[in-house]
Structure 1
Amino acid sequence: MGKVTGFMEYERVEEGYKPVEERVKHYKEFVVGLDESQAKVQGARCMDCGTPFCNSGCPVNNVIPDFNDLVFRGDWKNAIEVLHSTNNFPEFTGRICPAPCEAACVLNVNDDAVGIKSIEHAIIDRAWDEGWVQARPPKHKTGRRVAVVGSGPAGMAAAQQLARVGHDVTLFEKNDRIGGLLRYGIPDFKMEKSHIDRRVKQMEAEGVAFRTGVLVGKLPEGSKVTNWAKETLTPEQLHKDFDAIILTGGAEQSRDLPVPGRDLDGIHFAMEFLPQQNKVNAGDKVKGQLRADGKHVIVIGGGDTGSDCVGTSNRHGAASVTQFELMPQPPEEENRPLTWPYWPYKLRTSSSHEEGCEREFAIATKEFIGEKGKVTGLKTVRVEWKDGKMVEVPGSEQVLKADLVLLAMGFVSPVASILDTFGVDKDARGNAKASTDFAGGYATNVPKVFAAGDMRRGQSLVVWAIREGRQAARAVDEFLMGFSDLPR
Structure 2
Amino acid sequence: MGKITGFKEYERQDEAYTPVKERVGHYKEFTIPMNEKEIGLQGSRCMDCGIPFCHSGCPLGNLIPDFNHMVHQGEWHKASLILHSTNNFPEFTGRLCPAPCEQSCVLGIIEDPVSIENIEKNIVEKAFAEGWIKAVPPKKRTGKTVAVVGSGPAGLAAAQQLNRAGHLVTVYERDDEIGGLLRYGIPNFKMEKNIIDRRVDILKEEGIQFKVNSHVGENVPVEEIKEYDAVVLAGGATKRRSLPIPGIDADGVVQAMDFLTQQTKVVLGKKVENQVMATDKNVIVIGGGDTGSDCIGTSNRHGAKSVVNFEIMPKPPGDRSPSTPWPYWPLQLKTSSSHKEGVERNWLINTKEFVTDENGKLTALKTVRVEWKTVPGQRPQLIEVEGTEKEWKCELALLALGFTGSETTISDQLGIKHDARTNIEASENDYKTNVPGVFAAGDQRRGQSLIVWAISEGRQAAHHVDKYLMGSSSLPLKGEGDLPGV
What interval of TM-score do these two structures reach, taking the shorter chain for normalisation? over 0.9
Tell me the equivalent position of 2:450: 461
Q: Secondary structure at the match of 2:210?
A: strand
Tell me the equivalent position of 2:58: 58
Equivalent runs, 1:260-271 vs 2, <5 Å:
260-271=246-257
User: Is the Cα contact below 8 Å between 2:324 and 2:331 reproduced in 1?
Assistant: no
Of structures 1 and 2, the one with the larger relative CO (CA 8 A, separation 6+) is 2
Q: CA deviation at 1:34?
A: 2.4
Q: CA deviation at 1:110?
A: 1.6
Tell me the equivalent position of 1:237: 224
Corresponding letter in the other structure for 1:406 = L
Q: CA RMSD in A?
A: 1.0
CA 2–401 in structure 1, closer or farther in 2 if over 3 Å, else same:
closer
User: Is the Cα contact below 8 Å between 2:2 and 2:47 reproduced in 1?
Assistant: no
Equivalent runs, 1:271-420 vs 2, <5 Å:
271-335=257-321, 338-371=324-357, 372-387=359-374, 388-420=380-412
Corresponding letter in the other structure for 1:391 = I
In structure 2, distance between residues paired with 1:327 and 1:416:
30
User: Is the Cα contact below 8 Å between 2:147 and 2:170 reproduced in 1?
Assistant: yes
Corresponding letter in the other structure for 1:404 = L
Tell me the equivalent position of 1:210: 210
In structure 1, distance between residues paired with 2:272 and 2:361:
21
In structure 2, distance between residues paired with 1:443 and 1:335:
37
In structure 2, distance between residues paired with 1:484 and 1:293:
54
Q: Secondary structure at the match of 2:56?
A: helix
Q: Secondary structure at the match of 2:284?
A: strand
Corresponding letter in the other structure for 1:129 = A
In structure 1, distance between residues paired with 2:411 and 2:301:
37
382-391 or 469-478, which moves further after superposition?
382-391
In structure 2, distance between residues paired with 1:235 and 1:339:
47
The alignment status of 1:246 with 2:235, answered yes or no, reads: no
The alignment status of 1:485 with 2:474, answered yes or no, reads: yes
Q: TM-score, normalised by structure 2?
A: 0.96
Corresponding letter in the other structure for 1:246 = V
Tell me the equivalent position of 2:377: none
In structure 2, distance between residues paired with 1:238 and 1:90:
30
32-41 or 363-372, which moves further after superposition?
32-41
Q: Secondary structure at the match of 2:86?
A: coil
Q: Secondary structure at the match of 1:214?
A: coil
Instruction: Give 4+ residue runs of structure 1 displaced > 3 Å after superposition.
Output: 335-338
Corresponding letter in the other structure for 1:65 = P
User: Is the Cα contact below 8 Å between 1:154 and 1:467 reproduced in 2?
Assistant: yes
Q: Secondary structure at the match of 1:233?
A: coil
What is the CA deviation profile of residues 24-79 of structure 1, one whole-angstrom value per residue up to 9, with x for unaligned ones?
00000001232111111111100111100001101111100000000000000000
In structure 1, distance between residues paired with 2:163 and 2:139:
11
CA 336–78 in structure 1, closer or farther in 2 if over 3 Å, else same:
farther
- Of 409, 423, 431, the residue aligned with 1:431 is 423
What is the CA deviation profile of residues 457-488 of structure 1, one whole-angstrom value per residue up to 9, with x for unaligned ones?
00001110000001111111111111111001
- Of 399, 403, 414, the residue aligned with 1:422 is 414
The alignment status of 1:449 with 2:433, answered yes or no, reads: no
Tell me the equivalent position of 2:165: 165
User: Is the Cα contact below 8 Å between 2:222 and 2:410 reproduced in 1?
Assistant: no
User: Is the Cα contact below 8 Å between 1:35 and 1:122 reproduced in 2?
Assistant: no
Corresponding letter in the other structure for 1:112 = D
Query: Is there any run of 5+ residues in structure 2 with no aligned partner, and where?
Result: 375-379, 478-486
Q: CA deviation at 1:336?
A: 6.4
User: Is the Cα contact below 8 Å between 1:107 and 1:114 reproduced in 2?
Assistant: yes
Residues paired across the two proteins, number: 471
In structure 1, distance between residues paired with 2:411 and 2:261:
23
CA 416–168 in structure 1, closer or farther in 2 if over 3 Å, else same:
same
Q: CA deviation at 1:394?
A: 0.9
Q: CA deviation at 1:418?
A: 2.8
Tell me the equivalent position of 2:34: 34
Query: Is there any run of 5+ residues in structure 1 with no aligned partner, and where?
Result: 219-231
Corresponding letter in the other structure for 1:302 = G
Q: Secondary structure at the match of 1:215?
A: coil
Corresponding letter in the other structure for 1:379 = K
Q: TM-score, normalised by structure 1?
A: 0.95
The alignment status of 1:128 with 2:114, answered yes or no, reads: no
Q: CA deviation at 1:338?
A: 5.0
Corresponding letter in the other structure for 1:190 = K
Tell me the equivalent position of 2:20: 20
Equivalent runs, 1:58-137 vs 2, <5 Å:
58-137=58-137
In structure 1, distance between residues paired with 2:256 and 2:408:
20
Tell me the equivalent position of 1:225: none
In structure 2, distance between residues paired with 1:244 and 1:464:
22
- Of 451, 459, 463, the residue aligned with 1:470 is 459
